[in-house]
Chains A and B, each alone.
Chain A
Amino acid sequence: MIKTLLSGDLPRSRLLTAMLVVVLVGLALAPFLVSGARSLNVAATICVFVVLVASYDLLLGYTGIVSFAHTMFYGIGAYGVGLALHGMGPSWWAIFVGTAGALALSLVLALVIGLFSLRVRAIFYAMITLAVASAFSVLASQLSDFTGGEDGRTFKVPEILQPGFRLFDAEILGRVVDGKLITYYLVFFSALTLFLFMLRIVNSPFGRVLQAIRENDFRAEALGYRTVVYRTLANCLGALIATLAGVLMALWLRYVGPKTMLSFEVMTDILLIVVIGGMGTVYGAVIGSALFILAQNYLQVLMAQASAAMSGVPFLANLFHPDRWLLWLGVLFVLSVYFFPTGIVGRLRTKAPARGRS
């Protein structure tokens, strides 16, 4: 049962299994484990990023395609549902229309970029995606009548998802069942489903061909695989799943804006998480996202405490001043790449017998 759900791709390392279980249980029970809007926001962000990063890894880690357009697809999903809800009012129909429209636009863009440029050398492909993504981001900021420009758009979601909504008066485990809780579980279960779907894709005959193409596309062609077709399909799949991640994020935040959805910072976050978690393994997206987003949100708090504790030693206190959190995040990144060049998951798995790599 579990084996089928995980598509036969078990974690193959005790420590990794333990970490995955901790993340899964933590995310599943987050509304009951933590209090406060911020913590729940962190949990929801982790859910969305697991999907977003895993869909990027489908391209980078599995197929060997370097693309910088991934946030564009994420943004299309977020804007699609956000603008639909903004324009059509808070209904499920608007969510459906926005999502379907966004998926269609992403598919067309992925196909066009893919067919135009998957035949060219990888470096040109990366540059084309970068150009298209930048153009798109500028466009979203410029068309301010439609998109809300730099400020973005806030919008109302259907009633059942609004924070003020109460499903019933009683509490469960000391927590009211409000619209926020319902939205959280919508995000959580959607993310879980998408994650399991990607796990299946990478362990399907198709996923195996993607890895073959990454390893040696010339040979894959000689075996009879038309690599353009496979690359284009992988590109479209990654784009569609990133779009859905954007939809989930917009529903959670009830806001869309260029900074949160389209900026290059999101793209660098995705890249960092893929590298930290481990390329070419969807489990890396889980571990990487959890660690990275926790660090991004709590490193400052942690450092404030450390800084206060060391107030006797001005140099150390200064070094751990909360304003330097970005520096420390950078240091953590460099260290993790140095010690785990194959990512955390890659590192944990190499200790297991080589058998499983077939």
Chain B
Amino acid sequence: MIGATAPFMVSKSNHVAKAFPMTTEHPVLSTHGVSIRFGGHIAVNNVSCEFRPGILTAIVGPNGAGKTTYFNLMSGQLSPTSGTVRLYGEDVTRLGAPQRTKRGIGRAFQLTNLFPNLTVLENVRLTVQSRAGLGLNMISMWASHVELIEKAEHFLHVTALGESRHELASALSHGDKRKLEIAILLALEPDIFMFDEPTAGMSVDEVPVVLDLIHHIKAQGDKTILLVEHKMDVVRSLADRIVVLHNGYLVADGDPAEVMASPIVQEAYLGTGMAEHV
């Protein structure tokens, strides 16, 4: 692990609407028959699913199954052709990504998505600044908000990126870019974490850092975690529940052991060249 300090600052989840009951009975995030069509291709087809706090849901499926598209529909990068998305009971289908982020969704992207010509620290500082709601301040100097910088440095420390804080994001190695992507997600301090293949392309010694971080988020007990992951050993060790997407359809949903054993998953995976991951 990275040092003895707790990797997360104690933070209140002040995203959540006050009246919303935070028990595992109530889904914080749900989709109701969402579909999206790209031309003639339906990438996500009538998917209904609910996500509850304290539970890590792994979303699996072969390449092109629609996992990333489903994420985009939930975090607001895309609007569905039909169906609704609910966040804390509120219909957010027509809201964009910024509004959903403000309501507590945090997203780490599969294809690294950074500010390439800004420094590593600035990438994270901008995130902390957004979380602090300071973006429209034109009067003060950014550098005078020391607390934001310190907080950003904390998240770099947690993700083992402290050394490269003054490098440009574009100069990082692939693995470090993936870590920066996660540092940004942590800096958003969301209630709902969405990881899209966080360890893809990382070297073997970097993977544990990321898995440790996810473990820690899970250990907090009240976070909702969605994880798209191809590595089945990772899924087995982390997931409380597995959802399987295939050709845009939700084909299985439930307890990890059951889902893994179900014939439909065996077929979906073994039939599409995913065997090496199982």
* A interface residues with partner B (beta carbon < 8 Å): 4, 7-8, 200-201, 203-209, 211-212, 215-216, 218-227, 229-230, 233, 354-355, 357-358
CB A234 to nearest CB in B, in angstroms, measures: 10
For A7, A205, A215, which residue has the most chain B Cβ atoms within 10 angstroms? A205
Question: Which partner residue on chain A sits nearest B129 by CB separation?
Answer: A205
CB of A208 within 8 A of CB of B101, answer no
CB A298 to nearest CB in B, in angstroms, measures: 36
CB B148 to nearest CB in A, in angstroms, measures: 8
Excluding A208-B126, A230-B135, 6 further A-B contacts by CB distance (< 8 Å) are: A204-B139, A205-B135, A215-B116, A225-B130, A225-B135, A357-B119
CB A302 to nearest CB in B, in angstroms, measures: 38
* B interface residues with partner A (beta carbon < 8 Å): 75, 77, 96-99, 101-102, 107, 109, 113-119, 121-122, 125-127, 129-131, 134-145, 165-168, 184, 188
Question: Which partner residue on chain A sits nearest B181 by CB separation?
Answer: A219
Question: Which partner residue on chain B sits nearest A211 by CB separation?
Answer: B118
Given contacts A222-B101, A223-B188, contact A205 B137 (CB under 8 A): yes
CB of A226 within 8 A of CB of B98, answer yes
13 contacts between A and B (CB under 8 A): A8-B144, A200-B141, A204-B142, A209-B129, A215-B118, A221-B98, A222-B77, A222-B101, A222-B113, A223-B98, A223-B188, A225-B130, A357-B166
CB of B101 within 8 A of CB of A219, answer no
> A354 to chain B: which residues have CB within 8 Å?
166-168
Q: How far is the CA of A24 from the CA of B122 in the complex (A)?
A: 31
Q: How far is the CA of A122 from the CA of B58 in the complex (A)?
A: 38
> A218 to chain B: which residues have CB within 8 Å?
77, 113
Given contacts A208-B129, A209-B126, contact A8 B143 (CB under 8 A): yes
Contacts between the two chains (Cβ within 8 Å), count? 112
Among candidates B109, B118, B121, residue contacting A212 with C-beta atoms closer than 8 Å: B118
CB of A212 within 8 A of CB of B141, answer no
> A7 to chain B: which residues have CB within 8 Å?
141
CB A268 to nearest CB in B, in angstroms, measures: 27
Q: How far is the CA of A227 from the CA of B143 in the complex (A)?
A: 22
> A209 to chain B: which residues have CB within 8 Å?
126, 129-130, 135
> B136 to chain A: which residues have CB within 8 Å?
205-206, 229, 233
Q: How far is the CA of A32 from the CA of B173 in the complex (A)?
A: 57
CB of B168 within 8 A of CB of A206, answer no
CB of B115 within 8 A of CB of A215, answer yes
> B77 to chain A: which residues have CB within 8 Å?
218, 221-222
CB of B142 within 8 A of CB of A207, answer yes
CB of A224 within 8 A of CB of B107, answer no
Q: How far is the CA of A203 from the CA of B143 in the complex (A)?
A: 8
CB A4 to nearest CB in B, in angstroms, measures: 8
Question: Which partner residue on chain A sits nearest B120 by CB separation?
Answer: A358
CB B35 to nearest CB in A, in angstroms, measures: 23
Given contacts A205-B145, A357-B168, A358-B166, contact A212 B97 (CB under 8 A): no
> B118 to chain A: which residues have CB within 8 Å?
211-212, 215, 357-358
Question: Which partner residue on chain A sits nearest B102 by CB separation?
Answer: A224
Question: Which partner residue on chain B sits nearest A223 by CB separation?
Answer: B130
Q: How far is the CA of A223 from the CA of B77 in the complex (A)?
A: 12
Q: How far is the CA of A209 from the CA of B127 in the complex (A)?
A: 10
CB A3 to nearest CB in B, in angstroms, measures: 9
For A8, A208, A227, which residue has the most chain B Cβ atoms within 10 angstroms? A208
Among candidates A8, A206, A229, residue contacting B137 with C-beta atoms closer than 8 Å: A206
Q: How far is the CA of A224 from the CA of B188 in the complex (A)?
A: 9
Question: Which partner residue on chain B sits nearest A226 by CB separation?
Answer: B98
CB of A204 within 8 A of CB of B113, answer no
> A200 to chain B: which residues have CB within 8 Å?
138-139, 141
